[in-house]
Amino acid sequence: MDRRLVVVFGAIALVLALPFALKPRENLLARADDSLVVVTPHNEAIRYEFARAFAAHYKAKTGRTVRIDWRMPGGTSEIARYLQGEFYAAFQQEWTATGRAWTPEVAGAFDNPGIKPATAPGGSAAADARRAFLDSTKGIGIDVFFGGGAYDFAQQAAAGRLVASDVLAKHPDWFRDGSIPQTVSGETFYDPEGRWIGACLASFGICYNDDSLHRLGIKEIPAAWSDLGRPKFFKQVALADPTKSGSAAKAFEMVIQQQMQELVGVTGSDDESILALGWTRGLGIIQLAAANARYFTDSAPNVPVDVSLGDAAIGMCIDFYGRFQSEAVQVDNTPSRLRFFTPAGGSSVGVDPIGILRGAPNRGVAEEFVAFVLSLEGQKLWNFRVGTPGGPVRYALRRLPVRKELYAPEFAALRSDPAVQPYEEAKLFTYHPAWTGPLFKPLSFIIRVMCLDPHDEQAAAWQALAAARFPREAMKKFTDMRAVDYETAKTKIRQALASPDRIDEVRLARELAGHFRKQYREAEQLAKEGK
């Protein structure tokens, strides 16, 4: 045989054999006495440190080994959709296995918190289905939902996909004002039924690259959400898609809330007209930031990574993404080129929760994991420095623990962020859920149709406006928010998103995206005419 053919076939054989050679000889999960299946948006660093520490804790307490099987289908919003679909399929199978028909009424009712469950068999199909689901132990093969926003966990709990943990009953001393308070400045830190509990704290802010600011000739350091809309940041802003990322959606909500609060503070009134004006002003800040956007990523952690690399100069992100990446790119003891800050009075302090899913196949291990994460032992992992007693061994997670005890002076030297006092910062911003909470999903939808879908037209108009020095009529046209004002968001948009017929949402999205495309084209033309 030709020597060249021998070489070619040998290379092919090597490529085919390599995956088998590298494959573990045995299933790593099978080597453990117990296993735990966790769905999470958390990054590799968090997964590594908690898996390692929990395994050691579990072994010491029970004498048994345990391994965590992590499932990562995407960001929090994508996980929420994944859970909804999986429970739909699981309950449909359970319902029809008894000979009952799977009707549209049943499908629309079983996980609908608006349906009152039947108190006895023989009621309406909707009420019977709701009761059957809440009594069901049918699961989806996953034990724990770990990480994400409180809004998504509250939605999962209301639907019935999360069940009460026994951690509140077993550790009542943890759930007090001096440890884990139930509410802080308007934010709920745990479900009173124990279906979800905040595991660590989260706030939102801005990350920027010092080198990029120097390159762009920007001497004024960013300080507020509105700075994202500076014309010098055209095509330099990194944003995440709020329809894909729960943290991004929450960050945009903070922009709206701050504008509302400032107006309420000035006027002394929280009348509907004042809130509506704050809504419009907040959308205006978001609109200009989006006009400067280089992209809208599906993955929120990409924002600080790309800003640190100089692919963008500035972006919006959750606090720990910014802090973690800042440390990751720091060289020796010199200041990191990536900076993160929370605008003063610009964000509430909320929680990233943990909860047990209905039908958890490893319920006992799940309860132990929840308790570990909330214990002081588990809480130290969030912000203790690498190598400190009780701290992480490989990664500084740069997250903030929910337990107040760890902000005591004796722990300051052990923490990565000793100067950060989130419970004090929370006093600067009070979240008012009644103002924007019911519009959390409509807000993401509005940003999509106002900024993401027509982004090419939006950016072109913004560029023309800047070149023409922002003529009055063109700016008025560009910033017209009447199609998505506060009243419309609460009525027309919210109703379409809540409709059981998905076509209603698709139709409205097409209508509004078309409206803004036309609006931006008209604004561009007016700008070119100098009007």
Q: pTM for the full model?
A: 0.81
pLDDT value of residue 11: 43
Domains of the chain: 76-202+350-423 (3.40.190), 204-347+432-528 (3.40.190.10)
Mean pLDDT of 144-172: 95
Element (H, E) at 356: strand 350-357
Provide, rounded to the nearest whole percent, the portion of the chain with pLDDT above 70.
94
pLDDT above 50: residue 358: yes
What is the average pLDDT value for the chain, to the nearest integer? 92
Structure confidence by residue, pLDDT tens digits, 67-79: 999 999 988 888 9
Q: What is the predicted pLDDT for the residue at 68? A: 98
Q: What single DSSP character describes residue 426?
A: G
Distances (CA, A) of 447 to 281, 282, 425: 14, 11, 28
| pLDDT value, residue 13 | 44
Please report, to the nearest 10 degrees, the dihedral formed by the alpha carbons of residues 7, 12, 15, 18 taken in order. -80
Instruction: Band the pLDDT of 30: cuts 50, 70, 90.
Output: low
| pLDDT exceeds cutoff 90 at 20 | no
Residues of the chain with pLDDT > 90, as a percent, come to 83
Q: What's the mean pLDDT in 214-233?
A: 95
Question: What confidence tens digit (pLDDT) does each residue in 377-404 have?
Answer: 999 999 999 999 999 999 999 999 999 9
The pLDDT tens digits of the residues spanning 429-442 come to 999 999 999 999 99
Dig out the tokens for 158 from the structure: 């209301």
Average pLDDT over residues 137-157: 94
Give the integer Cα–Cα distance in Å for 309 and 330.
Answer: 12
> With bands split at pLDDT 50, 70 and 90, how would you rate the model's confidence at 299?
confident
* Amino acid identity, position 166: D
